Amino acid sequence: MLYIVGLGPGSLDLMSPMAQEVLQKVDTIVGYTTYIKLVKDFIQDKEVINTGMKREIDRCEKAIELAQAGKEVAVISSGDAGIYGMAGLILELLSSQGSDLEVKVVPGITASIGGAALLGAPLMNDFCHISLSDLMTPWEMIEKRLHAAAQGDFVICLYNPKSKGRPKHLEKALKIIAGYKGEETIVGIAKDIGRPKEETIITTIKDLDDRLVDMTTTVIVGNRFTKVYNGMMYTPRGYKL
């Protein structure tokens, strides 16, 4: 059996009991080095297959091979494994092989939900997720989605907002969004969610200090009604108070 497990944001107290049970019972755990560190309590006496980033295909092929040979295998992702994680890649590989291997996806708390809880309640009205990484999606498509999401006044969760290879993506994205929502729109930033260095910042598109954002950061841009109160960011649901 092949399990694809979402670990949640990083701390054990946000990892589901189902995920913890699977990690305890499998023979082999497969994942990117940073994620293996998150499950260090579970890896004694187990086979661990970890490789660096950008080796996802190798890792998933290896996991499939071991599961096909009869091992109980867990492939891990931080957050939820089905949101820009490993679950889709595993299914793509099985499909291309014509394999009928049984898989089970164990859901997890994704970064936007973990971050939103720290920031207050920004996701109380319709929202979307857009990854700013153009490694696998053309930048033109990302821009098209930014326009669509801003025009519909969705709350917008930006994943992979910035990296060394794409230092200007966040700036470009916020400029597109501000064109519809205005520069005073509230922005929340959550860094290293569920980890010791956990940090949140609430600001506006205009005042956002881009240097505070890196790959471990989730950026949540409010809708036109999002407000700040007592250090928390919230989007009204529409109750008549």
Footprint of its own copies on 145-174 (CB under 8 A): 145, 147-149, 151-154
Cα–Cα distances in angstroms (integers) from residue 197 to residues 153, 190, 194, 216, in the given order = 32, 11, 8, 11
Joined tokens for residue 73:
């295998």
**Which range, of 28-36, 65-73, 120-128, 208-216, touches its own copies by CB under 8 A?**
120-128
- Tell how far CA 71 is from the center of its chain: 28
One residue of 53, 70, 136, 209 binding its own copies per CB under 8 A = 136
Give the residue among 101, 54, 106, 53 at the shortest CA–CA distance from 75: 106
Residues present in the chain in total: 241
Phi, psi at 158, each rounded to 5° = -100, 120
| Closer by beta carbon to its own copies, 48 or else 117 | 117
Of these, 110, 160, 185, 217, which contacts its own copies (CB under 8 A)? 110
CB-count exposure of residue 60 (10 Å: 0-12, 13-18, 19+): buried
Coil, strand or helix at 187: strand
Contact positions with its own copies (CB under 8 A) in 78-97: 80-85, 87-96
> 88 or 216: whose CB is closer to its own copies?
88
Nearest approach, Cβ of residue 231 and its own copies (Å): 10
Sheet strands side by side (includes 2-6)? 47-51, 28-32, 73-77, 2-6, 103-106
179 is a contact residue toward its own copies (CB under 8 A): no
Q: Give the nearer residue to its own copies in terms of CB position, either 50 or 125.
A: 125
What pairing do the DSSP bridges indicate for beta strands 232-234 and 120-121? parallel
Minimum gap (Å) between residue 109 Cβ and its own copies: 5
Interaction residues for its own copies, span 15-74 (CB under 8 A): 15-18, 21, 56-57
Is the Cβ of residue 217 or residue 235 nearer to its own copies in the bound state? Answer: 235
Query: By CB under 8 A, which span of 23-31, 37-45, 124-132, 171-179 interacts with its own copies?
Result: 124-132
Q: How far is the CB of 207 from its own copies (least distance, A)?
A: 21
Q: List C-alpha distances in Å: 17 to 12, 20, 107, 171, 217.
A: 9, 5, 11, 39, 26
- Identify the bridge partners of residue 131 per DSSP, sorted by sequence position: 159
Taking the complex as a whole, the smallest distance from the CB of residue 166 to its own copies amounts, in Å, to 15
Region 214-233 residues binding its own copies, contact defined as CB under 8 A: 227, 229-230, 232
Query: Smallest distance, Å, CB 211 to its own copies?
Result: 26
Beta carbon of residue 89, minimum distance to its own copies (angstroms, whole number): 6
**Any contact of residue 236 with its own copies (CB under 8 A)?**
yes
